[in-house]
Amino acid sequence: MIDYTADDNELAAVVAHELSHNLLDHRAKLAVVKKGKIAAIRATEEEADRLSVWLMANAGYDPQAAIRFWQRYGKATGLGILSAPTHYRWKTRVHMLGEEIAAISLVTPKKGIRPPPLLKTAVSPK
């Protein structure tokens, strides 16, 4: 997947998605799910997508690169992992990313950082 990125902004999109899974402790949360595992995984994928664009924006990357990457990757792979039952279709993911990027622009930065809503316990700069 990393080989498929066109530039540093798109690479940041992939890394930010994976970093979001770690920050949101998804592995531990999924480990205790007994029923509805597929839906639970899909929910963690959505959270990782949504948080990823906040991380990108706060780190100085263009969050629109996430849309460019997932759109191109989705179109090219078609029946790849993005259409697995655990993942939303790429068009849905791209739509959610657009919603989240719009939400970022509505938050006033504190010392250049916009606190992501998904990281409620995050320490924001004073």
Q: How far is the CB of 86 from Zn ion (least distance, A)?
A: 9
Does 66 bind Zn ion (CB under 5 A)? Our answer is no
Instruction: Please say whether the beta carbons of 74 and 82 come within 8 A.
Output: yes
Identify which range of 38-46, 73-81, 93-101, 105-113 contacts Zn ion by CB under 5 A.
38-46
# residues near Zn ion by CB under 5 A: 2
As given in the structure block, the two tokens for residue 97 are 């990313």
Of the residues 12, 24, 48, 56, which one makes contact with Zn ion according to CB under 5 A: 48
DSSP, res 107: S
Identify which range of 25-33, 37-45, 56-64, 104-112 contacts Zn ion by CB under 5 A.
37-45
**Sequence-separated (6 or more) residues with CB below 8 Å from residue 56:** 9, 12, 13, 16, 62, 63, 65, 66
